[in-house]
């Protein structure tokens, strides 16, 4: 497992991951961007508080997207079942 250097919110970290460097850099970029966004909005007194808020925001976005995908899939499956029932 290779170590990849990333910079997040002004600090450098060395991350070991099974995925390639590109994936690690992409993830680090998303985290860095979200932390900067949170810092601009709320000006937290510590980077730890900023990181926690960024993490909560990212998880909220992930859950929301998952629910949207589930609703779309459920709707699509319902339409396909209706079409199959009409043919059978």
Those residues with Cβ within 8 angstroms of residue 73's Cβ, 6 or more apart along the chain or in another chain: none
What pLDDT, on a 0 to 100 scale, did the predictor assign at position 24? 95
Count of the separate structural domains present in the chain: 1
What pLDDT, on a 0 to 100 scale, did the predictor assign at position 20? 85
What digits encode the pLDDT tens for the residues 13-42? Answer: 999 998 789 999 999 999 999 999 999 999
Residue 4's H or E segment, with its range, is strand 3-8
What pTM did the predictor assign?
Answer: 0.79
Residue % of the chain over a pLDDT of 90: 85
Domain extent, residue 71, equals 3-87
What pLDDT, on a 0 to 100 scale, did the predictor assign at position 19? 78
């Amino acid at each position: 497992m290779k170590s990849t250097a990333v910079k997040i919110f002004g600090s450098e970290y060395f991350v070991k991951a099974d995925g390639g460097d590109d994936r690690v850099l992409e993830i680090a970029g998303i985290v860095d961007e979200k932390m900067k966004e949170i810092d601009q909005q709320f000006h937290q007194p510590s980077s730890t508080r900023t990181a926690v808020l960024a993490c909560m925001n990212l998880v909220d976005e992930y859950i929301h997207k998952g629910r949207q995908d589930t609703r779309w899939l459920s709707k699509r499956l319902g339409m396909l079942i209706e079409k199959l029932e009409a043919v059978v």
